[in-house]
Amino acid sequence: MARRTPTILSTHIIILSLLSFSAITLVSGTYDGFVRTMDSKLLGLHKEKLSHFRLYWHDIYSGSSPTALRLVRPPNNATGTSFGAITIIDDPLTQGPELSSKLLGRAQGFYAQASQQQVGLLMVMNFAFTQGKYNGSTITVLGRNPVFDKVREMPVIGGSGLFRFARGYAQLRTYRFNQSTGDAIVEYNVYVLHY
């Protein structure tokens, strides 16, 4: 019995060493100083899926609690487009077009009026979700928004949480716009490929 113990122990050590070496090889892959290839399944990236989100974005300048604040006013508004204006946002994202409908998250970021010929925004924002399994996850949207076009499209360039490695696009349609206050409700249909 005393003779078999070292043999069994030696066998276990050899097996554990091989398993450790295999695990290190799977994680590290090939290494070239500062970059390495990895097996995507080790990060939990198994099967990519396509999700469609429909939500309403409320951009509110008016009232006692605005969600959109103009930080930079254009120095010269001769073109009538407010070229150069920059607005920071923390806009509610709701399930329906009414502000009182279920809050799904917030659109946080900014937009700049980046066109001299038309009202065309450069928008940079994260859709930070607060409901269900997406709570704490974000979708990042960055692109051009010619606001008076009936339908606009902006790219989804990434995300966090359940939207790591996300890509896709958002289609926008203005649901309501108040010219006197600047308040707007926009329907977003977001199509996202994610894991």
Instruction: Note whether 124 and 109 are within 8 A (CB).
Output: yes
> pTM for the complete prediction?
0.78
* Per-residue model confidence (pLDDT) at position 24: 47
Torsion angles phi and psi, residue 114, rounded to 5: -110, 15
Tokens representing 94 are: 């709701």
Rounded Cα distance, 190 and 96, in Å: 15
**pLDDT (0 to 100) of residue 22:** 47
Per-residue model confidence (pLDDT) at position 42: 75
pLDDT of residue 20: 52
At residue 40, the pLDDT reads 73
Nearest Cα to Cα of residue 177 among 152, 153, 148, 154: 148
> Per-domain residue ranges for the chain?
46-194
pLDDT digits (tens, 9 = 90+) for 101-145: 999 999 999 999 999 889 999 999 999 999 999 999 999 999 999
Query: Which pLDDT score, from 0 to 100, does residue 5 have?
Result: 52
Q: Which among 70, 47, 66 is positioned nearest to 58, based on CA atoms?
A: 66
The span from the CA of 178 to the CA of 185, in Å, is: 9
| CA separation for the pair 91, 61 (Å, rounded) | 10
Q: Which residues of the chain have pLDDT under 50?
A: 22-28
- Asked if CATH classification 2.40.480.10 holds for the domain at 46-194, the reply, yes or no, is yes
* Beta carbons of 48 and 193 less than 8 angstroms apart: yes
